[in-house]
Homo-oligomer: A and B are copies of this chain.
Amino acid sequence: MTDSLATLAQRLQQFAQARDWQRFHSPKNLASALAVEAGELLEHFQWLTEEQSRQLEAERKAEVAEEMADVLLYLVQLATVMEVDLLEAAQRKIERNERRFPAL
Protein backbone atom coordinates (compact mmCIF):
# COMPACT_ATOMS: atom_id res chain seq x y z
CA MET A 1 0.00 0.00 0.00
CA THR A 2 2.89 2.40 0.60
CA ASP A 3 3.33 2.81 -3.15
CA SER A 4 -0.26 3.43 -4.09
CA LEU A 5 -1.85 6.50 -5.61
CA ALA A 6 -3.98 6.78 -2.46
CA THR A 7 -0.88 7.09 -0.29
CA LEU A 8 0.55 9.65 -2.69
CA ALA A 9 -2.70 11.64 -2.49
CA GLN A 10 -2.60 11.67 1.30
CA ARG A 11 1.00 12.74 1.43
CA LEU A 12 0.34 15.59 -1.03
CA GLN A 13 -2.63 16.75 1.00
CA GLN A 14 -0.48 16.93 4.14
CA PHE A 15 2.22 18.73 2.17
CA ALA A 16 -0.24 21.41 1.00
CA GLN A 17 -1.85 21.76 4.41
CA ALA A 18 1.49 22.21 6.17
CA ARG A 19 2.26 25.14 3.81
CA ASP A 20 -1.24 26.62 3.73
CA TRP A 21 -1.27 26.14 -0.04
CA GLN A 22 -4.77 24.69 -0.33
CA ARG A 23 -6.24 28.11 -1.08
CA PHE A 24 -4.16 28.12 -4.31
CA HIS A 25 -5.30 24.62 -5.28
CA SER A 26 -8.54 25.33 -7.09
CA PRO A 27 -9.26 22.88 -9.93
CA LYS A 28 -8.66 25.76 -12.38
CA ASN A 29 -5.18 26.43 -10.99
CA LEU A 30 -4.22 22.76 -10.70
CA ALA A 31 -5.29 22.13 -14.30
CA SER A 32 -3.09 25.09 -15.35
CA ALA A 33 -0.15 23.76 -13.35
CA LEU A 34 -0.59 20.32 -14.92
CA ALA A 35 -0.58 21.84 -18.44
CA VAL A 36 2.57 23.80 -17.57
CA GLU A 37 4.32 20.62 -16.42
CA ALA A 38 3.15 18.76 -19.53
CA GLY A 39 4.87 21.52 -21.53
CA GLU A 40 8.10 21.11 -19.55
CA LEU A 41 7.96 17.38 -20.22
CA LEU A 42 7.45 17.97 -23.95
CA GLU A 43 10.33 20.45 -24.05
CA HIS A 44 12.81 17.58 -23.62
CA PHE A 45 11.59 16.01 -26.86
CA GLN A 46 10.76 18.97 -29.07
CA TRP A 47 13.87 18.90 -31.29
CA LEU A 48 14.60 15.17 -31.07
CA THR A 49 13.65 12.67 -33.73
CA GLU A 50 11.31 9.91 -32.56
CA GLU A 51 14.26 7.55 -32.76
CA GLN A 52 16.40 9.77 -30.52
CA SER A 53 13.51 10.06 -28.07
CA ARG A 54 13.61 6.26 -27.69
CA GLN A 55 17.30 6.34 -26.70
CA LEU A 56 17.78 9.02 -24.08
CA GLU A 57 20.99 9.03 -22.09
CA ALA A 58 20.67 8.45 -18.34
CA GLU A 59 20.89 12.09 -17.24
CA ARG A 60 18.24 13.31 -19.66
CA LYS A 61 16.05 10.34 -18.75
CA ALA A 62 16.23 11.31 -15.07
CA GLU A 63 15.12 14.85 -15.94
CA VAL A 64 12.23 13.50 -17.97
CA ALA A 65 11.21 11.22 -15.08
CA GLU A 66 11.14 14.26 -12.81
CA GLU A 67 8.79 16.11 -15.18
CA MET A 68 6.59 13.02 -15.38
CA ALA A 69 6.48 13.01 -11.58
CA ASP A 70 5.37 16.66 -11.60
CA VAL A 71 2.52 15.82 -13.97
CA LEU A 72 1.42 12.94 -11.73
CA LEU A 73 1.60 15.07 -8.56
CA TYR A 74 -0.71 17.73 -10.01
CA LEU A 75 -3.03 15.11 -11.48
CA VAL A 76 -3.35 13.39 -8.10
CA GLN A 77 -3.97 16.71 -6.34
CA LEU A 78 -6.64 17.63 -8.90
CA ALA A 79 -8.27 14.26 -8.32
CA THR A 80 -8.31 14.95 -4.57
CA VAL A 81 -9.94 18.38 -4.77
CA MET A 82 -12.44 17.16 -7.35
CA GLU A 83 -13.12 13.88 -5.55
CA VAL A 84 -12.40 11.88 -8.69
CA ASP A 85 -11.24 8.26 -8.46
CA LEU A 86 -8.39 8.36 -10.96
CA LEU A 87 -7.95 4.61 -11.43
CA GLU A 88 -11.66 4.05 -11.87
CA ALA A 89 -11.82 6.87 -14.42
CA ALA A 90 -8.82 5.35 -16.22
CA GLN A 91 -10.41 1.91 -16.35
CA ARG A 92 -13.68 3.33 -17.67
CA LYS A 93 -11.73 5.15 -20.37
CA ILE A 94 -9.83 2.03 -21.43
CA GLU A 95 -13.11 0.14 -21.73
CA ARG A 96 -14.55 2.93 -23.85
CA ASN A 97 -11.44 2.86 -26.07
CA GLU A 98 -11.66 -0.93 -26.40
CA ARG A 99 -15.18 -0.58 -27.78
CA ARG A 100 -14.27 2.41 -29.95
CA PHE A 101 -11.13 0.94 -31.52
CA PRO A 102 -11.63 -2.82 -32.14
CA ALA A 103 -8.47 -4.93 -32.03
CA LEU A 104 -7.00 -6.11 -35.36
Which positions in A face B, CB cutoff 8 Å? 3-5, 8, 11-12, 15, 18-20, 24, 26-29, 31-51, 53-54, 56, 61, 64-66, 68-73, 75-76, 78-79, 81-82, 84, 86-94, 97-98, 101, 103-104
In the complex, the 9 A-B pairs of residues with the closest C-beta atoms, listed nearest first? A39-B39, A28-B53, A18-B103, A26-B50, A38-B38, A69-B93, A69-B89, A27-B53, A28-B45
- A84 B104 Cβ-Cβ under 8 A: no
In the bound complex, residues from chain B placing their C-beta under 8 Å from that of A79 are: 68
In the bound complex, residues from chain B placing their C-beta under 8 Å from that of A11 are: 94
Residue of B nearest to A43 (CB): B36
